[in-house]
Structure formats: structure tokens, C-alpha cells
Chains A and B, each alone.
Chain A
């Protein structure tokens, strides 16, 4: 078993309760931080740990904290982003459901570092049953003196609340999340000002992902130096990976950053190989927004080096032959999967979730969905393929928030690596009109996997 930091105690019976969690060493980071460290020391420690945001963007967490306007006389806020909605991602749900106190502990320690007296956990509305779990954990922590006034007898006080959303992917974008928390539509804000200067109620605010905040606990407990020893290079620590799709063992796995992708897919410790004895066709490695890669390029980089589960290795080759670690939503496709239909579901998703604020995204996502629908259902034209590339290009970089890019990248990469399959759909409309065409005749005879061309 690889290094376990976040999920070390996940299988201890009753770990969701305060008493059991405390017995396994829980809340030690709060004691250490509040009693022996200044807030700036905690921030410094997180900075030195090299921890990068685990929500998807991978921005250094300590650096984000250091941007917080500490000179302002306004209240400061810490907001946890638990809006996990990126298709293929379900790790935060797992963590919050199984070991809720890890998040609560991280929220207290992090709030102390930031000087926040009020903190919110913004959780997607569909996870309503987890709201109850978190609220119960908060009550337990309060009863034990870890929340409320004068925590552990110090002069630090903190109130922590859970705030449910109501179904909107866009609220995972931090400024949309703040709008939503203020009781408005989730329309992302123009930046600057960044939330660190003017966030919630125009006050200095830090927004961090669930896993990021949970990681702070071990950084404080074991020190930045020791945390730095885990992982490789600038990819320090461990990462929760949500594995789904055509594998034998879907689920959430904690991996030490640096694990070879091949081992992750085929080892029985993790995904356990491709289901039904089939072969690997493609992987979306970091949630639906990141570029899809064919088997040849996910296992090895274009240079022929083994691909590792790190921010750097997955990005090797840029978008020509690489992808991103993103949220760690690892979606695996076997030889029978239809790349066009798969892509159509994602484009439909982004169209559904576009907030409608920026024209390129609002119109472009709908247009791409329509074109993909017609290609997939046997009504496509040869020029539709380049049309898709063109639309994607015109969305990318032309919107207020990254949803536009997130919608464009899957389209551009699927056509880049699997153009043959799109051509097949256009060339044989009668075949693809059968909704199960991908099962009956996998498209790999004369139309071999385009990805292998790159190998």
C-alpha cells in the first residue's frame, strides 16, 4: 500500500465520530497551531509544504493564503469549496462522508492561520445528506471545545457553518461560489479584484477545496519538511484520485504523487485493470475538462518516458500530447467506448452548466452540443469536424471564467487524437444511427485508434 496521509484511518470503525477520530490523533493540528504557533507561522508552513490546490487548478495553496489582505480592517473569511461537480470527481464526497472531522479540523487550523472568525463550507446541494454529517461533526467539535468562543482556552474564536448550493457546476468556480453564498445566481465575477482582496461580502476571503484544507492537517502535524518528502519534485504530498469508467475497481484512492499511471491502472491495489478483459483505449485523467489521451500517450509521454501521476508529468507535451492532473477525476475507457458519444455527453454537460454570462460560452457550448449530436446520430457532415475545432478555439480564452476553456479542451483534444472516429461517424451514418453502434462494431478495424498514430 502506498503512502496514506489523508485516508490513513479511513477504515477505523466509527472514524466519522469525534471520539474515535480524536483517539487516532485527530485535532492535534489545532492544538499545535493554536498553542505553539502564530498564524503567520502556520501560513509559512503551508507555503513551504508546496501544497497545491487540489480542486483542479493546482495553484500553490500557501501562496494563495499569503495574498490575503491582512491590513484591511474588514472581517476575513475562509470558504471551503465542497461544490465538487467536475464529471469524474467524487473524492471530496468520500472524504466528507467517511471522515468529516478531517475537514472540520483543517477548517479550524486554516481559519486560525488566516485570522478568520467565521468560515463556511459551501457544499453542492445534491450532497444534502452530507450536510447532516458535517453539521453533526461540527456540533461534536463544538461540544469538545474546538469551535465557538476561546477555542482550547486561547483567545481565538471561530464559527463554522455548512451552506448548501442548489445544483450548479459553475459554483465550483470560486467567485461564482461567493456570489451563490451571497444568495445570488452563480455568475462568476470579473477579476481583479481577487477574493483575497474582495471576496465574500467584499471582504478578504480565501476559497480552498476540501482536499486542500484536509491536507493542511498533516502538514501542520508532521511539518512542511516531512510533507515535502512525500511525492516528487513540485508535486508534493498525496492526491485523492477518483477512478471511474471501464475498470475493475472504481473508487477513491489516495496515491503518493509520482506513481506511474500504468501501475495505477493495472495494479490490484488501485484500478485493477480494464474490466471484462478488454484493452485500454483512452483516459481522461483529471476530470472531464482536461484533454483526453489515447492509451499510448497516457502510459508514456511523447518522448517515451513513463507517465507519472504528477502535475508535471501529466502535463508533459502540453496539449499536443499531454493533459492535466486537474481534480484527479480519472475516467477510463475500454476498446468499445465511442469517443464521439462520450464527448457529446460532456459537451451537453457544459452547455447545461454554462451560466450564460459570456456569449462565446453560452452560444458556443450549445452549438458544439448540437453539432456533436448530429455527428453521433448519423447526420454529420465532413466539415462539421473542423467546425467543432473552430468553435472550441473561439471559446477558449474568451470568457470571464474557465468554464469556457473546460468546455473547449475536451472537444479539441478528442478530435486531435481520435479524428478518425469522427470521420467514421460521418462516413457511415447508417451504422452509427444504431444507438449501440459502439458495442456492435468497435471502430478499430480500418479506423484504428487515431492515438496510436502518435505512438
Chain B
């Protein structure tokens, strides 16, 4: 396994993030740094990655594990290049999120929670993403895709497939 180490650029960013908090409170940087780690190391947090983050922030590995396992945006097992998260809570359900999930399952040939055999897509239902006025919706990386229809989903899947890039919360349209 290759050595686990942030790029120099990311490392500099980590140091800047740590400085936002008072001396000795560097643990506060844990959530933002875990986001960076997930973005840089294949979209999920393997144990050696979490240990590396612990060493960077000078905290115990268990302090990282307990946090990583608490928050829903951290993946503790590998996911496809594009993690498609479909909101299914009340307001989205009222406007047809069931159909959106159904359409995605059909198009991708997988069930909710599974990854396509080519490792391109993982489909996951999630709880309210704060997009109820533009329901139904899904999130892929930092992007929100709203007012979804089957046609919109088809062109989105095509676009994601062509780009072939890994989706990450850290990259966005601004």
C-alpha cells in the first residue's frame, strides 16, 4: 500500500484550518480534515487514513473512529466513483422521490445501497438535505440536482459517466 500522506497543498490547508481554533483545540479541525481526507483518499475513510488524520491532529485514533462512525457523510467502506444520494424524507416523498429511486435502480441495474459492477455508481437514499422546495432532489458530491424528472436523471447519469471523475463534497460550482 502506498504511503498515506496528504499532498503539500492539502497539508498547507490543514495547517490553515487548525489555526482557526485556539491553541490546544486542534481537535476542532477534525470534521473539516476528515472531509479533506475522504476527498483525497478514494472517497472513503480506511483505518490507516483515520490513523494518519489522528497523527496529524495529535489526537488518539479512537477519537477519529468515534467521530467518523457518527456522521453520515463519512464513508467507512469503499463507494463508487459517483455517490448518488437521493433524499427520501417527507417533503421529497410527497413530490415523488420513490419514483426517482425506482428510476435510478432501473437505469443503474442496482438496488438502493449497492454499487454498479464497474465501480462507477453507488446509489444511496438519505434523509432531508434541505431542498424541500425543489423536490425531488439528489446530491452527488457538492452538487444539488433539483426538481428531478426521469429525463433529467438520464442526462445527469450520462454526464457523470462521460466525465468519469470521482464526485467529492469538496469540489463545487463556485
Binding site for B on A (CB under 8 A): 75, 84-90, 92-93, 118, 120, 124-129, 132-133, 136, 159, 161, 163-169, 180-186, 201, 242-246, 250-252, 284, 288, 329, 331, 333, 337, 341-342, 345-346, 348-349, 352-353, 355, 435
Contacts and interface: CB of A to CB of B under 8 A. Distances in A.
Contacts of A85: 128, 130
A104 to B, nearest CB: 16
Given A126-B73, A129-B142, A88 B174 contact: no
Given A164-B31, A201-B25, A244-B91, A87 B73 contact: no
Task: Classify the secondary structure of A's interface with B.
Answer: mixed
A250 to B, nearest CB: 4
Contacts, number: 158
Nearest to B27: A183
Contacts of A342: 90, 93-94
Interface string B25-41: 10111111011000000
B131 interface: yes
A396 B117 CA distance: 45
Contacts of B57: 183
Contacts of A125: 31, 35, 71, 73, 169
8 contacts: A166-B34, A166-B72, A167-B73, A181-B28, A183-B27, A186-B71, A250-B133, A348-B127
B158 interface: no
Contact of B71 (A163, A165, A345): A165
Nearest to B102: A435
Contacts of A245: 91, 94-95, 132
A168 B127 CA distance: 10
Nearest to A180: B31
Contact of A87 (B22, B66, B74, B128): B128
Given A129-B143, A183-B59, A184-B63, 15 more contacts: A87-B89, A87-B90, A88-B91, A166-B34, A168-B71, A186-B70, A242-B132, A244-B91, A244-B95, A244-B132, A244-B133, A331-B132, A341-B93, A349-B89, A349-B90
B163 interface: no
A128 B141 CA distance: 9
A167 B128 contact: no
